[in-house]
Amino acid sequence: MALRQIRIMGDEKLEKVCRPVKEITDRERELVRDMLDTMYDANGVGLAAPQVGILKRIVVIDIGEGPVVMINPEILETSGEQTGQEGCLSLPGQAGVVTRPNYVKVRATDENGEEYELEGTELMARAICHECDHLDGIMYVTRVEGNLFDVSEQPEEIEDEE
């Protein structure tokens, strides 16, 4: 297990457009493994390669349903809308409200070079959009409605009793 250092907002790598991966070699597979380790260690649901300083179009996501590796992801279709809280490992302790599509269809390649398509709704759709934004140098803060807030100051969400 190898952890990589997560770049914090303000780091110039987070503002660059990443290059497509032309060939998936052991180097890319090692990066993917390290990105997964780093994401799990930080309790995140997604991580993009520029967040560990590598300007390649690679993201990893796990919303609690197992790891998803997306190399050269391309969003094919979106629909609907969801508005909710979003955070980023490159801006620890902060969150903000962002509106995203509620459905996303994406095409990507996995670490073995297999191309696939994936549909996601709700949190998965949000994570795909957030991570793909990173590959174009876009932080979610540019999409936040209202102000960022300190996550620790937010009251715990209370479940409806019915």
Q: Which stretch binds Ni ion (CB under 5 A): 19-27, 87-95, 110-118, 146-154?
A: 87-95
- Alpha-carbon gap, residue 122 to 117, rounded angstroms: 17
Closer CB to Ni ion, 32 or 88, in the complex: 88
Q: Which stretch binds Ni ion (CB under 5 A): 10-18, 59-67, 88-96, 108-116?
A: 88-96
Counting beta carbons within 10 angstroms of the beta carbon of residue 11, is it exposed (0 to 12), middle (13 to 18) or buried (19 or more)?
A: middle
Closer CB to Ni ion, 24 or 46, in the complex: 46
Sheet (strand 94-100) strand order: 82-86, 94-100, 145-150
Cβ atoms of 78 and 99 within 8 Å: the answer is no
| Interface size with Ni ion, residues (CB under 5 A) | 1
Cβ atoms of 51 and 14 within 8 Å: the answer is yes
Minimum distance of Ni ion from residue 25's CB (angstroms): 26
**Of the candidates 28, 18, 1, which has an alpha carbon nearest to the alpha carbon of residue 110?**
28
By annotation, the residues acting in catalysis are 131
Choice from 6, 60, 68, 88 touching Ni ion (CB under 5 A):
88
Closer CB to Ni ion, 69 or 88, in the complex: 88
Question: Which residues form the interface with Ni ion (CB under 5 A)?
Answer: 88
